[in-house]
Chains A and B, each alone.
Chain A
Amino acid sequence: MRSRIVGYIASVFYPFCLVFGLYVVTHGHLTPGGGFQGGAVMATAVALMIVSGMFTVAVREKKVVRYKWCEALGLLLFVALAFGGMLQGGSFFHNWLANAGGCFGEAVAAGPNGGALNTGGTIPLMNLAVGVEVFGGISIILVTMVRAMKENRDG
C-alpha cells in the first residue's frame, strides 16, 4: 500500500517539520509554544515518516536507541539546570542565568519590543531540554505503537 509519491513528499517535508519544531522550541520564551509543543511538532515529523509508509526507516533499532538518548539527555539537562540554581546559592529551579550576561543572559528591554532571543536565562535552555525530551519520548511511543500494529498484522 506504500505510495511512492506520498513517501517522496513526506521525506521532503521531514526536515521542514523538524526545523519548525525547533523554531517553536527556541522561541518558547518569546512567543506562544515552548518545549513541549515544539517537541511534539518535531515528533510529528517522525509520525509523518511512519504514516507515509517509510516506517522501515523510522523504526530501525539504531533510531530507537537515539530517541532513548534524546529522552534521557533532555531530562538530565533539565534537572541539571534546576540543580544549578541550588549550586549558585538560590533555591531549586532558581533562574541563575537571567540578567547575568552571556548565553541567554541579556536583560529584557523595558516596554514593547520585538523580543530578543538572547534573554530569559535558564528558561530557553529548559525549553530546549524539554523539547529534546518530548521529541524522543513521543517518537518512542509512536514507534512502539507501530511495532505492536505490525505484530498484530503479521501474527
Chain B
Amino acid sequence: MNTVLLHSPALIVGLPIFAAILLMVVSRFGEKVRAVVFFAGIALASLAAISLAEQVLSLGAVRYVFGAPSPAAPLVPPDSGGIPVRILFHVDAAGALMLLVAALTSVAAALYALRSEERASGREYFYPLFLLLVGGVYGMVATGDLFNFFVFLEITSLAGAALTAYRIDHGLAAEAGLKYAVVSTLGGLSFLLGVGILLARHNLLNMAALGARIDLAGFGVPEAVAMALMIVPLAMKCGAVPMHQWTPDTYSRAPAPVSAFLLVSSQASLYGLFRIGFSLFGLSMDVSTVGLFVVILAVLSMFIGVTMAIPQHDVKRLISHHAVSQTGYMLLGAGVCLAVLGDPEKVRVFGRDALAGSLFHMMNYAVYNGLLFLAAGAVIYRTGTRNLDRMGGLGRTMPLTMACFGVGALAIAGIPPMSGFASKWVLYESVFRYSPLLSMVAMVVSLLTLASFVKVFQAMFLGPQRAAYAAVRDVPAAMWGAMAVLAVLTVLLGLFPDVVMQRLLLPAADALINQTAYTMPLGGAQ
C-alpha cells in the first residue's frame, strides 16, 4: 500500500497509458476483455489520483522524481553542475483539486461510454484514445516541468481531436476534429516557442526553479514575449472569447462522454494558465495589467458565450456555448485575484476568495456541465435527433434523464441548492469588492443562462408527448448511473460548500497565490 502511495504520481499517468497499450494487444480477445481493461485502467488511475490528492491535502505538496534510484531523490544530481535537470511531478493543493475533478468525471464518462458507444464501430481505437486523453490530463495537472506540460498538452489535443472525429457523422465530426487539431497544434507550437525562449534565457525547464530564477533576474522583454506566447494558447484551449470558435463545433460533434471529458481537458489548460500566471510569473510581471487582460477576456467570454447560446436549436451546440460563458466566470475570479496580487491587503480581503470561488466554479462546472452533456447525449441516444424543435414530451418516457438534466440545468443557472449557486455566490461577493460592475455583469449572464435553460428544458422534456417518441425508453443503467453520480455530486457540492471550501479550495488558492511556497524548496537549488 505504501509503495502504491509512494508511486501514485507516476501511476496516474502510467496506468491509463499502460491500459491503452494493453488494449491494442488484447482487443482481439473480444468485447468483454476490452471493456474490462478500459474501465479498470480508468478506475485504477482514479483511485491513484484520489489517494494522491488525499496525501497532498493532508501532508503537503508531493514531488516525484522520474528516472531516479528513488522517487524522493534530490532534484539536482551531484554531477549536473547545479542545474535541476530531472523531470519531476510536483503536485500541490491546486493540482490535487484538479486531480480530484479529473478522477471523478473520468469514471463517470467512462461508465457512460461503455454503454453509449456499444453500437459504434472502431471501439478498438476509441478506448485507447480515451485512456490517452485521461492520462494526458492527469499529466498536465501533475507535472512540474514546462516541456513536460507541453508534451501532455499535445497528447490531450491529439487524442481529443481523434475522439471528436470518431463518429464521422457525414464529415461534420471529422471537420470538427480537424478544426480542433489545427487550432490546438498552432496553440501548442506557440506554447513551445514560449518555453524555448525561457529555456534559452534561463537554461531551466523546471517551473519552480524557473519562477525563482525569473524573480531574481528580473522580468524583461523576452519573458514578456514568452508569457504572451504561453498564456494566449492556454486561454484558447480553455475556450475564452475571442479564441472560442472551436468549442461549439468540437464539443457538440464529439460523442457525449468525450465532450464531458474534453471539458476537463480544457480545465487542465485553464489550470496551466493559472500556474503560469501565478506560480511562474506571479512575483515578477506587472500583475495588474495581466490581471485586467484576463478580466476583459472573462467578461467577453461570459457575455458573448451566453448570447450566442440563446438562439441555438442544436442542444449540444447550445450547451457548448454555455461552456464558453461558464469559463468566463472562472477567468473572472482568477483575473481579479491576479490583478490585486501585488497588494497583500486586497488579496487577503477579497483576492483569495475570488480565486477560491473561481476554482470552486471550475470544479462544479466540470461536474454539472459534464452532466448536461451526458444527459443531452442520452436524449440524442434514444431519439436520434439533436434538434430542440423536434423534441418534446420526453419527460414522460425518460424521467431519470429528465431529473439529471434538471439538476444540471439548475446548477448552471446558479439556483440554490445546486453547486453552481455556491460558487457563483462566492464570485459575486468577492468580485464586487474589486468592481461592482463586474459582479453585475456576472449576475446578468447568470439570468440569461437561466432563461436559456428554461427554454431547453421545456423544449426537451415538457409539453405533449410526440407520437414519434412514444416508444422511447429511458437509457440503460450504466449511462443513467454515470449521470446519477454527477447529479449527486452537483447537489452535495451545493449543500456543503463550506467543507469543500475549507478542506480543498482555500488551500488550493493559497498554493497558487503563495508563489514562494511553490518555488521555495527549489530556490536554493540553483
Contact = CB atoms under 8 A, between A and B. Distances in A.
B7 A86 contact: yes
A86 B11 CA distance: 10
B71 A91 contact: yes
A76 to B, nearest CB: 5
Interface string B71-86: 1010000000000000
A51 B65 CA distance: 46
Given A79-B18, A82-B14, A83-B14, A91 B68 contact: yes
A75 B14 contact: no
Contacts of B10: 86, 91-92
A71 B21 CA distance: 9
Contacts, number: 52
B64 A91 contact: yes
B24 A68 contact: yes
Contacts of B67: 85, 90-95
A91 B22 contact: no
B14 A91 contact: no
A6 interface: no
Contacts of B70: 89-91
B41 to A, nearest CB: 12
B19 to A, nearest CB: 10
Contact of A92 (B24, B25, B66): B66
A117 interface: no
B17 interface: yes
A75 B18 CA distance: 9
B30 interface: no
Contacts of A71: 24
Interface in B1-23: 7, 10, 14, 17-18, 21-22
Interface string B50-71: 0000000000000011111111
A interface, over-half SS: helix
A64 interface: no
A79 B412 CA distance: 41
Contacts of A83: 14, 18
A85 B7 CA distance: 11
A73 interface: yes
A63 B22 CA distance: 21
A64 B287 CA distance: 55
Interface in A82-108: 82-83, 85-86, 89-95
Contacts of A89: 69-70
A86 B9 CA distance: 12
A30 interface: no
A72 B67 CA distance: 23
A91 B21 contact: no
Interface of A: 68, 71-73, 75-76, 79, 82-83, 85-86, 89-95
Interface of B: 7, 10, 14, 17-18, 21-22, 24-25, 64-71, 73
22 contacts: A68-B24, A71-B24, A72-B21, A73-B25, A75-B21, A76-B21, A76-B25, A79-B17, A82-B14, A83-B14, A83-B18, A89-B69, A90-B69, A91-B69, A91-B71, A91-B73, A92-B7, A92-B10, A92-B64, A92-B66, A94-B68, A94-B69
Given A91-B66, A92-B14, 15 more contacts: A72-B21, A72-B24, A75-B21, A79-B21, A83-B18, A85-B67, A86-B10, A90-B69, A90-B71, A91-B10, A91-B64, A91-B73, A93-B66, A94-B67, A95-B67
